[in-house]
Amino acid sequence: MKGRGRFLVLEGIDGAGTTTQAGYIQQWLEEHGIRAIVTREPSEGPIGATIRQALRGRLRLPVVAGSGELSSETIALLFAADRLDHIEAEIKPALQRGIWVISDRYVQSSIAYQGTLIDLGWVEEINRYSIAADLTLFLRIEAATAMQRIGSSRVQTDIFETRDLLERIAGGYDRYYAGNPEAAVILDGSAPLAEVSAAVCGALAQAFPELRQ
Ligand code: TYD
């Protein structure tokens, strides 16, 4: 019988290249004969769609009383709810079928993004039922580099994509990994693309013996 798939996560501040590397990992795994899917958070589900609208500052849904702006606490709860939905709807079913799952962002995004704005302990608490990843790769880049990349590639920017905020979020990740060194493998996301991809493959081969060939 085929075993359970592995659950991989990519983390980083906006512009770190998580989406590019998620696609690369999928292709690399398929070359090793391993079926893999890429998913992302906010997810493709209904709560994920609500979050995407909220992040672009244009949430106009009946759930919002008053101004149409959501508080950071509400957004944190939406991310936590979307995560449980993502786990049940996409991650667990794939893993059970022996398919590897590569998630573009997961719990540590909430820790770094929401945890720097509001009570970190509470953010961790509302994410307590999220299943653990088998491996998390953190693509580390400076906020200044991220701003340059974002500026040159996107027309519309999310509310988190300002330099000051990105610096705080980068600090949130760094503090978290300083206290939890086993939580992720930290890679230099500012290196040329091919080098980052090579480092990603190296980290995967290190973590999973079946990929060393
Ligand atoms: P992003 O990956 O940038 O999606 P897209 O490129 O499709 O807009 O994710 C949207 C934003 O959501 C990004 O700025 C990070 C933020 N985010 C959080 O604040 N908390 C979370 O828990 C997650 C998963 C993402």
Query: Model confidence over 27-76: pLDDT tens digits?
Result: 999 999 999 999 999 999 999 999 988 887 544 443 434 445 788 999 99
Residue 96 sits in a domain of what CATH number? Answer: 3.40.50.300
Q: How far is CA 17 from CA 172, 175, 190, in A?
A: 18, 21, 9
**pLDDT (0 to 100) of residue 55:** 81
Domain of residue 103 covers: 7-211
**pLDDT (0 to 100) of residue 57:** 58
Specify burial of residue 180 (Cβ count, 10 A radius: 0-12, 13-18, 19+): exposed
CA–centroid distance, 108 to ligand 1, in Å, is 11
Nearest residue (by CA) to ligand 1, atom 23, is 109
- Count up the domains in the chain and report the number: 1
In Å, how far from its chain's centre is CA 26? 15
Q: What is the pTM of this model?
A: 0.92
CA–centroid distance, 210 to ligand 1, in Å, is 31
pLDDT, mean of residues 157-176: 85
Instruction: Give the residue from 20, 39, 42 showing the smallest Cα distance to 101.
Output: 39
Rounded to 5 degrees, what are φ and ψ at 38?
A: -105, 130
**pLDDT (0 to 100) of residue 67:** 46
Ligand 1 neighbourhood includes 79 CB (under 6 angstroms):
yes
pLDDT over 90 percentage in the chain: 78
In a domain, 135, yes or no: yes
Nearest residue (by CA) to ligand 1, atom 24, is 41
pLDDT over 70 percentage in the chain: 88
In a domain, 163, yes or no: yes
Q: How many CB atoms lie within 10 A of CB 189?
A: 28
**pLDDT (0 to 100) of residue 56:** 76
**pLDDT (0 to 100) of residue 158:** 63
Q: How far is CA 191 from CA 2, 38, 95, 141, in A?
A: 37, 23, 31, 9
Give the three-state DSSP class for 136: strand
The CB-side HSE value for 46 (13 A sphere, CA atoms) comes to 1
User: Any idea how long the chain is?
Assistant: 213
The per-residue pLDDT for range 74-90, each reduced to its tens digit, is: 999 999 999 999 999 99
In a domain, 183, yes or no: yes
Nearest residue (by CA) to ligand 1, atom 12, is 42
Pocket test for ligand 1, best of 40, 103, 105, 160 (most atoms within 8 A of CB): 105
**pLDDT (0 to 100) of residue 62:** 38
In a domain, 1, yes or no: no
**pLDDT (0 to 100) of residue 151:** 78
Q: Answer whether residue 97 shows pLDDT above 50.
A: yes
Instruction: Give the residue from 20, 59, 22 showing the smallest Cα distance to 158.
Output: 59
In a domain, 2, yes or no: no
In a domain, 49, yes or no: yes
Ligand 1 neighbourhood includes 110 CB (under 6 angstroms):
yes
Ligand 1 neighbourhood includes 82 CB (under 6 angstroms):
no
CA–centroid distance, 128 to ligand 1, in Å, is 19
Ligand 1 neighbourhood includes 55 CB (under 6 angstroms):
yes
The per-residue pLDDT for range 6-34, each reduced to its tens digit, is: 999 999 999 999 999 999 999 999 999 99
Four-CA torsion 111, 117, 122, 126, nearest 10 degrees: -60
Pocket test for ligand 1, best of 120, 160, 176 (most atoms within 8 A of CB): 160
Ligand 1 neighbourhood includes 14 CB (under 6 angstroms):
yes
Ligand 1 neighbourhood includes 160 CB (under 6 angstroms):
yes
